[in-house]
């Protein structure tokens, strides 16, 4: 018969394993939505690309590539304001993420007038 101490360790290990598996599943979902978004962006289906990138970010809020490509989708769909907000958040979170972010941000400002 297992002691209460052993039961507690087993429950904790099971809980940790379940949390890990849930994070793994969320990461896989985010990657799948991200790939879908990139394909939709390539065929200029901006509204659907934005939805796909948003789903990726819902599954994995720290997915910086999804945030960057969603900003590109906003810009290409004629919404430079949302693009600039998105990119500014990304730059604030990680100033060294991608130098192209700064270029796209300047383009979005220029398009806003």
pTM above 0.85, yes or no: no
- What pLDDT is recorded for position 25? 85
pLDDT at residue 10 in the model: 59
- Model confidence over 3-62: pLDDT tens digits? 566 556 656 668 888 878 888 888 889 999 999 999 999 999 999 999 999 999 999 999
Q: What is the DSSP letter of 53?
A: H
b/e per residue, 44-70, with b = 16+ CB within 10 A? ebbeebbbbbbbbbebbeebebbbbbb
Res 101: pLDDT: 96
All domains of the chain in start order, with CATH: 4-112 (1.25.40.10)
């Amino acid at each position: 018969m297992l002691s209460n101490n052993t039961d507690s360790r087993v429950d904790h290990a099971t809980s940790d394993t379940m949390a890990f598996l849930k994070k793994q599943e969320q990461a896989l979902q985010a990657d799948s939505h991200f790939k879908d978004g990139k394909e939709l962006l390539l065929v200029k289906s901006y509204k659907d690309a934005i939805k796909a990138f948003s789903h990726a970010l819902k599954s994995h809020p720290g997915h910086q590539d999804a945030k960057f490509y969603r900003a590109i989708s906003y810009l290409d769909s004629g919404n430079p304001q949302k693009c600039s907000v998105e990119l500014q958040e990304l730059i604030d979170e990680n100033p060294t993420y991608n130098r192209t972010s700064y270029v796209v941000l300047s383009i979005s400002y220029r398009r806003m007038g």
